[in-house]
Amino acid sequence: EVVMMQSPVTLSVSPGERVTLSCRASQSVGNNMDWYQQKPGQPPRLLIYTASNRATGFPARFSGSGSGTEFTLTIDSLQSDDLAVYFCLQFNEWPFTFGQGTKLEIK
Amino acid sequence: EVQLVESGGGFVQPGGSLRLSCEASEINLYYYELDWVRQTPARGLEWVARMWGHGNQKYYVDSVWGRFSVSSDKTRNSVDLQMDSLRVEDTSVYYCRVWVREHRRDYWGPGTLVTVSS
């Protein structure tokens, strides 16, 4: 199965910072990759679909890029509401597989 | 707004069975792919199964193959996850999820906890 590896595991950030999260696939997944945001006590929520398309309800400060094996989620001017765990997911082949997540914390 | 609600979770001994149900409102599941995803703090998120609402295609992660099965109930507008031969490692919060392309977003249920323990 495709292994998705996220880095870093935890990131301490300050409001207003630009944040970059990474996700690497063990083999090419094309652009068949999503990003999810999960806040405490809530299910995950699709944030970016097919690598670079922002889902409904998320502001333009969230953006995704990459293809093949290397993907990036960028949050411009981080806000306190963005503190959450972010997961990448590949859906290029079954079984779909998630990364282990990156937790954003307040510095 | 589209809503999904899971039910059927609970406590069961190893080898036992549970049937989870995911009922939808404001959307006809027949026309969508419905997913079951589970999560534990230790193992993270795992995509368990996918089913097209019309039932023609179903996928399962290897760890549940032959033990879990998904089916749809058109009258209840629901998708069920029958879980047999449960193992301790199946303990998890189970979510159902649907991607609605025309809304450019997905919808998740709040989750239901399944605990397998002796």
Q: Does B111 touch chain A (CB under 8 A)?
A: yes
Best to test chain B binding among A52, A94, A100, A102 (most B CBs inside 10 Å): A94
β-pairing, B112-116 vs B10-12, is parallel
**What's the DSSP call for residue A80?**
G
Q: What is the mean pLDDT of residues B93-99?
A: 97
Q: Tens digits of per-residue pLDDT, B58-78? A: 999 999 999 999 999 989 999
User: Environment class of residue A25 by beta-carbon count within 10 Å: exposed (0-12), middle (13-18) or buried (19+)?
Assistant: buried
Q: Quote the CA–CA distance of A1 and B93 in Å, as a whole number.
A: 23
| β-bridge mates for residue B35, sequence order | B50, B97
Q: What is the mean pLDDT of chain A?
A: 96
Residue B54 has pLDDT above 80, yes or no: no
Q: Report pLDDT digits (tens) over A45-82.
A: 999 999 999 999 999 999 999 999 999 999 999 999 99
The tens digit of pLDDT for each residue in B103-113 reads 999 999 999 99
Q: Write down the pLDDT at residue A81.
A: 93
Name residues whose C-beta falls within 8 Å of residue A7's C-beta, 6 or more positions apart in sequence.
A21, A22, A24, A102
Measured at the CA of A100, the angle between CA A2 and CA B111, to 5 degrees, comes to 105
Q: What percent of chain B has pLDDT over 70?
A: 99
Interface of B with A in 18-77 (CB under 8 A): 37, 44-47, 50, 59, 61-62
pLDDT band of residue A106 (cuts 50, 70, 90) is confident
Q: Would you place residue B5 in the very low, low, confident or very high pLDDT band (cuts 50, 70, 90)?
A: very high
B22: tokens are 């995911």
B55 pLDDT higher than 90: no
pLDDT band per the 50, 70, 90 thresholds, residue A87 = very high
Query: Looking at the partner chain, which of B45, B103, B106 has a beta carbon nearest the beta carbon of A87?
Result: B45
- Tell me the mean pLDDT in the region B11-23: 98
Q: Which helix (H) or strand (E) holds A105?
A: strand A102-106
Phi and psi, residue B34, nearest 5°? -115, 130
pLDDT given for residue B56 in this prediction: 77
Helix (H, G, I), strand (E, B) or coil at B66: coil
Percentage, residues of chain B above pLDDT 90: 92
Task: Mark yes or no for CB contact B47/A89 under 8 Å.
Answer: yes
Residues A98, B47: C-beta atoms closer than 8 Å:
yes
Nearest 5°: CA angle at B36, between A38 and A47? 30
